Structures are given as C-alpha cells and as structure tokens.
C-alpha cells in the first residue's frame, strides 16, 4: 500500500492534525480533506470512499474521524488493518475524543504516526512497540551529558586548585615583604619579585584559611555546581521515566502522582559499585461485578556501574516465572548466552557496559484477564436505601507472596452531600472534601492480614462510588525474576553488588 496522509478531522472536514508521508502541498491536503465529507454516503455502512485519484479509509471517533488517504491501487485489507492501528493509537494519548485534546497531544500523536508509516509504507509494528519506540531514551545523549558534566567538574576543581595556589603565593609574599606575584608583577621590575617567589611556592606548607579578599572567584564555580546538581536531578528523573517503558502514556494525573509518591517512599539503600534495580509497574482495570478486563505487568532490570573496573561483567538471572511472561533482552545483549545459561552479557565480551548510566538490560511483560492473578481484589458493594446508600468495601490479597505497603484505596463521593458516616474498618481513613474522595489507608497488607473491610453510609446512588482506584508500593516483585549473581568476564571472579526491587502502580481501577 501507498499511504499518502493520515489525519484526524471533524465531520465537516476541518483538519485537526494531519501527517503527510509523501511530498504534498498544504493546499492539496486541505483540498482532499475538505472534499471528504461531501463524498460520504450516509445510507451505506462502508468505511471507505473513492475518487478518481485517491481512496479515503475512515473510522468514526465519536465526533471526529480518523482518516487515511491512500492510492487507489493499494490493498484495501491492509488499509483497514492500518486504520485500526491508527484508531488504537489515538486513545493511548487522548483521554477524550475532543478537538482540544487532540490539539494538546498533537506532537506525541505525530511521532506515533511516524512509527506506523515510513515513506508511505506501513512498518511491521504493534501498539506496544510504538509505545516503546516513542519513549526510548538515547544512550548517546546520556553519555554526552555525563562526559560534559565530568569535564565541568574537572574545570571547577582545577579552578579551585589555582585559586589556592594564588592565595598561598600571596600570603608568602606578604610574609617576606615581596610584591604579590601573578597580579601585574610580571611586567618591568616586578618580574624579579615574581621570579624569586617561585621557589617559595614549591616549598611544602600548610595552607591557612582563605581570606575574604580571595573569595570573589568562588561564586562562579559554586553557582555552576548548583546548576549541575539540579540539572542532574532533572536528567535522573527523565531517564527513570523513560527506562520504565511506557508507563505514563495512558495513565491519569492521579496515577502518575501515586507512582511518583511510591518512588519517593522507597527506602534508601546502600549501593555498591555495581547496582541492579528490578522495577515492575502494574496497570489493571477490573469490573465492579467481578471479572478482570485487563492486567499488564511491565518489568525491567536496570544496571548502573560506577566503577569502570567492573565494566566487563556477566549477570546471572533466575527466572521462575511460569505464568507466560514475555521476556526480552537489550539488543546489545548476547541472546544465545541468555537462552542457554540464563545469563546477561554483551555480544562483544571485550566491550564494557557504560559507566554511571542506568541501562535497561532485560524487560518483561505479563498480560492477562484471569481474575485469580490480580495482586489485590477489591469488592465495592453499595446498597441504596431511603436514607441514602450503605457502602461495603472489601479487599483480599490474591498473591500471598506479596507484601503491599502504603496501600490507599480511593472511593469517590457524591458532591454536596456532606461527609460520610464511617462504621467498622480496618486501618484508617481520610476524607478529602476538596477532591470529593474517601481514602482508605492501610500501612501493610500481607499474608497475616490478607483481607479487610470498610463500611460507611452516604447520600447518593450506586454509580457515584465508582471508579475505585488503588495505589500501593511493594519491595517484592510480582513476576518471579531475580538476579542470582554477577561475575567478571575475564577470570569469572564473583562481583559484589547491591540491588533493590520495587512494584509500583501505574493504574489500578475498578469500574
């Protein structure tokens, strides 16, 4: 097929965004889009219309249309398959199918469109790969930034060293009554004083505390150091978000905040020169009457090496996951070594891993609609009465090997009905009147308290108390994937390493 353009337009033919994959003038594409509504025949159920030169393949998106413009000799079956993929990409970036939302997310959508089609021909990609490609970080950029920051730190240290030498020389010159070297003494008669002070600078001495006169050069390096620190935090935060693989494309603001809060709540651990982080993120949507619509677990093992002598290593992975998780290694990892020995090493054993960078070496994905695989099941049962609604909420830990910390179960409340009357509950609760939410908080849920309940009464109807959302943090992984050891490539000596594990929530809702 030859795809000329992909566009999201209104029913009147107004283009909201349009991406052309072949050379085409603006007037040409605007004319094609304007002619589209006039060609539609409302009496038929077709999803395409043709003219003498092009074919329109379209799909309604509420008040909008997802429209592909192709050549007439293209394969209509391939066109429809491509259209379905485009239509699935739109909800990944837009919460509602409205013109303002499409405009706000126009650049991410165009980047995603470019992953689907290149030069008019469709790429062999699926939705998960598009999400991965659009969020992939640049290793070269991180290396460049690390080298630049290292050079700036070295320049600052060199500046401080020169400042100390000048201060010491000035103090020695004042003590011996000679003219201060390095500040105009190098011309005329002062050159002799400068020359005589050189042996004095070479002598061993203990530097005295800096005098106020020479503190003037320091604000510049200090200020730059503070900028580097803040920039480093931004870079770390940015890299952390990218390496985690697509967690924030379809999440709401509240889920992003909960995931961020969970990261902050992770206790600090001592890190060795070789540090591994196993991080999983869960996205789950369940129904109020039972059943699981979809659950996805995205996991990744990230490696950070701070000492270059440990650059050439091999990581042994123990994989006991038997629920059908799909595992992938980094393209630079030796796949034959991983498949035969379950070890992670570079294809070129003479090449070291990057230093001072978080590198994702392995990732996995588990998708299921089996209700028994849920980490935590929630049963919210509102019962309407003459006085309002009696709501019973229960939780049950389905995976007893997990220990969930800082669990918050958030139940929406009707507006303008006042605070709910809370009866029996396990844990504690908090009413956020500004957001209209009841937060049921439990510090820990594990095998010893795998179930609990909350009862409260409030005016309203059954639908007012949905969707129920859940957030938690766990230091145990859902999929049974762990690192069993690390050894050197040359010699096979074991390497001391540190590791931490985190299970975070991207989205967890009962609709």
pLDDT digits (tens, 9 = 90+) for 482-500: 999 999 998 889 999 999 9
Structure-block tokens of residue 65: 């249309």
158-211: pLDDT as tens digits: 999 999 899 888 888 888 876 555 444 443 444 443 344 334 333 443 444 444
pLDDT at 379: 93
pLDDT at 100: 87
pLDDT at 240: 59
pLDDT at 194: 39
Question: Predicted confidence band at 410 (pLDDT cuts at 50, 70, 90)?
Answer: very high
Return mean pLDDT, the chain.
80
pLDDT at 91: 84
Question: Predicted confidence band at 42 (pLDDT cuts at 50, 70, 90)?
Answer: low
Pick the more confident residue, 486 or 62: 486
Pick the more confident residue, 478 or 264: 478
Q: How far is CA 336 from CA 300, 345, 347, 487, in A?
A: 20, 10, 9, 18
342-356: pLDDT as tens digits: 999 999 888 999 999
Structure-block tokens of residue 324: 């059908």
pLDDT at 210: 44
pLDDT at 257: 47
Rg (Cα) of the chain, in Å, rounded?
A: 31
pLDDT beyond 80 at 464:
yes
pLDDT beyond 90 at 298:
yes
The percent of residues in the chain predicted with pLDDT above 70, rounded, is: 80
Beta strands per DSSP E along 256-387: 274-286, 292-305, 313-319, 326-329, 343-344, 359-368, 376-385
pLDDT at 116: 87
pTM of the model: 0.50
pLDDT beyond 90 at 502:
yes
pLDDT at 264: 43
Question: Predicted confidence band at 242 (pLDDT cuts at 50, 70, 90)?
Answer: low
Return the closest-CA partner of residue 125 out of 75, 88, 76.
88
pLDDT beyond 90 at 388:
no
């Amino acid at each position: 097929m030859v795809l000329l353009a992909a566009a999201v337009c209104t029913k009147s033919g107004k283009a909201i965004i349009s991406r052309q994959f072949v050379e085409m003038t603006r007037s040409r594409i605007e004319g094609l889009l304007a002619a589209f509504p006039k060609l539609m025949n409302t009496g038929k159920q077709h999803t395409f219309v043709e003219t003498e030169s092009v074919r329109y393949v379209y799909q309604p998106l509420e008040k909008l249309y997802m429209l592909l413009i192709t050549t007439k000799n293209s394969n209509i079956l391939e066109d429809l398959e491509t259209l379905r993929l485009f239509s699935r990409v739109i909800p990944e970036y837009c919460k509602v199918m409205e013109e303002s939302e499409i405009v706000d997310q126009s650049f991410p959508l165009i980047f995603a469109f470019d992953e689907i089609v290149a030069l008019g021909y469709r790429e062999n990609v699926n939705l998960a790969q598009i999400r991965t490609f659009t969020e992939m970080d640049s290793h070269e950029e991180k290396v460049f930034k690390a080298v630049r920051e290292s050079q700036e730190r070295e320049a600052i240290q060199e500046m401080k060293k020169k400042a100390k030498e000048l201060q010491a020389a000035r103090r020695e010159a004042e003590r011996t009554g000679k003219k201060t070297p390095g500040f105009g003494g190098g011309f005329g008669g002062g050159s002799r004083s400068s020359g005589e002070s050189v042996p004095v600078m070479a002598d061993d001495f203990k530097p005295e505390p800096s005098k106020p006169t020479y503190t003037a050069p320091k604000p510049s390096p200090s200020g730059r150091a503070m900028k580097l620190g803040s920039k480093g935090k931004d870079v770390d935060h940015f890299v952390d978000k990218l390496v985690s693989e697509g967690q924030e494309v379809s999440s709401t603001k509240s889920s992003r905040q909960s995931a961020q809060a969970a990261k902050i709540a992770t206790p600090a651990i001592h890190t060795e020169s070789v540090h591994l982080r196993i991080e999983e993120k869960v996205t789950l949507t369940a129904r109020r009457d039972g059943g699981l619509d979809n659950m996805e677990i995205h996991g990744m093992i990230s490696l950070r090496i701070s000492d270059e002598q440990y650059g050439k290593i091999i990581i042994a992975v123990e994989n006991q996951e038997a629920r059908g998780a799909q595992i992938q290694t980094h393209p630079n990892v030796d796949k034959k070594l991983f498949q035969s020995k379950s070890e992670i090493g570079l294809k070129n054993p003479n090449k070291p891993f990057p230093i001072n960078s978080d590198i994702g070496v392995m990732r996995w994905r588990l998708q299921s609609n089996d209700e028994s695989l849920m980490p935590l099941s929630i049963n919210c049962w509102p019962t309407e009465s003459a006085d309002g609604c009696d709501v019973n909420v229960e939780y049950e830990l389905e995976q007893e090997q997990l220990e969930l910390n800082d669990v918050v179960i958030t139940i929406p409340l009707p507006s303008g009905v006042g605070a709910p009357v809370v009866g029996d509950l396990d844990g504690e609760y908090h009413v956020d009147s500004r957001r209209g939410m009841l937060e049921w908080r439990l510090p820990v849920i594990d095998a010893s308290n795998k179930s609990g309940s909350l009862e409260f009464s409030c005016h309203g109807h059954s639908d007012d108390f949905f969707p129920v959302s859940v957030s938690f943090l766990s230091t145990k992984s859902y999929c049974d994937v762990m690192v069993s050891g690390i050894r050197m490539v040359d010699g096979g000596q074991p390497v001391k390493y540190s590791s931490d594990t985190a299970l975070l929530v991207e989205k967890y809702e009962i609709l």
